[in-house]
Amino acid sequence: MSPDPSTTATGWRAWFNRRMAICVFLGFTSGLPLYILLSLLQAWLKTEGVSLRDIGLFALIQFPYTWKFIWAPLIDRYRLPGLSWLGRRRGWMLATQVVVMGLVVAIGLRDPKSDLTTIAILCAALAFFSASLDIVIDAFRREILPDAELGLGTAIYVNAYKLAGLIPGSLSLILADHLPWDAVFAITAAFMLPGIVLVFVVDEPHTQGTPPRSLRDAVVLPFAEFISRDGWSQALLVLLFIFLYKIGDSMATALSTAFYLDIGFSKTEIGLIAKNVGLWASVAGGLIGGAWIMKVGINKGLWIFGVLQLVAVFGFAWLAKVGPDRVVLAFAIGFEAFASVGLGTAAFTAFIARTTDPRFTATQFALFTSLAVVPRTFANAGAGFIVEGAGWFDFFLICGALGLPGLLLLPKVAPWREDDSPPKKETP
């Protein structure tokens, strides 16, 4: 069953229990492969002379993040053969992390000038196993957190997720000025080791109710429960909101590393200024967001943080106008990281967790988070074409406009004055 609410800590003690420590490692482990694809890969290809259009099209290799709900029922239903002694969740966590680490090393051994197709295939495989890792980590996190700790646990997870971005987005870029790329990728891959160790020091979580007894149950029951909860119309509104809420911000940051390089910043400047300022601003935003969500609730957080993340997009437009100014770079990156990455993502991910029934965590979580990354996969794939046609400034204005529809759905899916009660646990 889920953690006993009576054991849930309050006040400052809520920040320092074992569950929050686990969320730190889960977030770091989940975020590292994605930021390798988004940051390190992008810088590598740009440095090796690959065109912006081709770099933008590489967003399509993230297709597995969009469709991971298709194989999530397998992870919900089965233990992994050969690792069943670890349990359903920990067995999958170990296997996917080991494969991810090996693929990162393999990518760095290729040459973008002659092996771009092979690199694309390896990156697609990395995205598939990274998405599979996300499935089991999301399920594991939901199953160890009581409802009262969802907001705080999510905020800590999101902070650690973004902390992982400091490795491929900062440390690896700095190392790339002094080491060959294959060594950079190998060092980056080694940061998967803490998550692998975690598998052996945590307990297998207990789910609320009975796990799916067959593959059919694992496929059908999660969707039936979600639709029957409030009806078809509300279910569709929730899915549409999840799709739209962060589309503007996601697209605005799709080519961020290429943007910084294009307007005149060096790789070291990006590593030392952009990535570090963004990291600490997002950490501050996540911590403040987690505390704020515990006080005002997830619904109000979505409203307040949603407006702030929309405003933050225009900071990039300002940077595009003034050019390679380090102060403006720090301000634009810091505000976007604080408002969107810290505040907005904390509330948004907590909303997704609250919408998930603990009996079907892997499949429902995969469905909701898949929808959330659709913009990053498809809209971002066309970002390079928009930039080359309209320029960076107009591109960011377009991204700002794309952020409005999600906010307009808030009265329907997260009313300001409605409480933040979790979904009803009724058998479909």
Q: What are phi and psi of 397, to 5 degrees?
A: -65, -40
Count of Cβ atoms closer than 10 Å to residue 276 Cβ: 17
pLDDT tens-place string over residues 344-358: 877 888 888 888 877
Residue 417 and residue 242: Cα distance in Å, rounded?
Answer: 20
pLDDT at 218: 77
Closest CA to 335 of 358, 360, 310, 357: 310
Of residues 28, 299, 250, the one with CA closest to residue 151: 299
The number of angstroms, rounded, from the C-alpha of 112 to the middle of its chain's C-alpha atoms is 26
Asked if residue 339 belongs to a domain, the reply is: yes
Query: What was the pLDDT predicted at 13?
Result: 58
From the list 67, 66, 41, 68, the residue with the least C-alpha distance to 56 is 41
Amino acid identity at 339: A
| pLDDT computed for residue 31 by the predictor | 92
428 lies in some domain: no
Distance between CA atoms of 247 and 254, rounded to whole angstroms? 10
Report the distance separating Cα 23 and Cα 205, nearest Å: 13
Pairwise CA distance, residues 335 & 428, whole Å: 43
| Higher pLDDT among residues 354 and 276, named by residue | 354
Write out pLDDT tens, residues 376-401.
Answer: 666 666 777 888 778 889 999 988 88
- Which tokens sit at 18? 């074992």
Residue 189 has pLDDT above 80, yes or no: yes
**What is the residue whose two structure tokens read 């199953």?**
143
Lowest-confidence pick of 107-111, 240-244, 422-426: 422-426
What is the tally of structural domains in the chain?
Answer: 1
Percent of the chain's residues with pLDDT above 70: 90
Q: Is-contact 148 5, C-beta < 8 A?
A: yes
Tokens of 230: 């409030």
* Per-chain mean pLDDT for the chain: 82
Domain annotation covers residue 418:
no
**For residue 377, what pLDDT is reported?**
63
Q: For the segment 106-158, what is each residue's pLDDT rounded down to a tens digit?
A: 999 988 888 888 988 999 999 999 999 999 998 898 888 877 777 778 778 87
Residue 422 included in any domain: no
CATH number of the domain where residue 370 is located? 1.20.1250.20
Question: What separation in angstroms does the CA of 198 have from each of 24, 25, 160?
Answer: 11, 7, 14
Alpha-carbon distance of 278 to 274, in angstroms, equals 6
Longest dimension (CA), the chain: 60
**Residue 323 has which token pair?**
């050019």
Cα dist from 241 to 293, 320, 351, 371, 373, whole Å: 19, 29, 11, 9, 12
Q: For residue 323, what pLDDT is reported?
A: 85
What local confidence, expressed as pLDDT, does residue 425 receive? Answer: 46
Cβ(293)–Cβ(350) under 8 Å?
A: yes
**Residue 25: pLDDT band with limits 50, 70, 90:** very high
User: Are 2 and 146 in contact, with CB atoms under 8 Å apart?
Assistant: yes
Place of tokens 């709900």: 69
Q: Tokens representing 270?
A: 């990006």
Identify the pLDDT of residue 183.
94
d(CA 329, CA 156) in angstroms, rounded, equals 26
Q: How confident is the model at residue 420 (pLDDT cuts 50, 70, 90)?
A: low
Tokens 């907590």 belong to which residue?
350
- At residue 267 the predicted structure's pLDDT band, cuts being 50, 70 and 90, is confident
pLDDT-based confidence at residue 207 (cuts at 50, 70, 90) = low
Q: In this predicted model, which residue has the larger pLDDT, 427 or 184?
A: 184
Residue given tokens 């004055």 in the structure block:
417
Let me know if residue 427 belongs to a domain.
no
CB 316 within 8 A of CB 262: no
Across 11-15, 21-25, 287-291, 324-328, least confident range: 11-15
The answer to whether residue 421 is domain-embedded is no
User: pLDDT at position 221, please?
Assistant: 82
Most confident of 154-163, 182-191, 384-393: 182-191
Handedness of CA 421, 371, 379, 31 (dihedral sign): positive
Q: Give the Cα-Cα-Cα angle 184, 129, 135 (nearest 5 degrees).
A: 125
Q: Residue 403 sits in which domain range? A: 5-413
Secondary-structure percent of the chain, ordered helix, strand, coil, rounded to 5:
80, 0, 20
What's the pLDDT score for residue 306? Answer: 87
Which range, of 186-195, 275-284, 361-370, averages the lowest pLDDT?
275-284
Taking residues 43-49, report their average pLDDT.
83
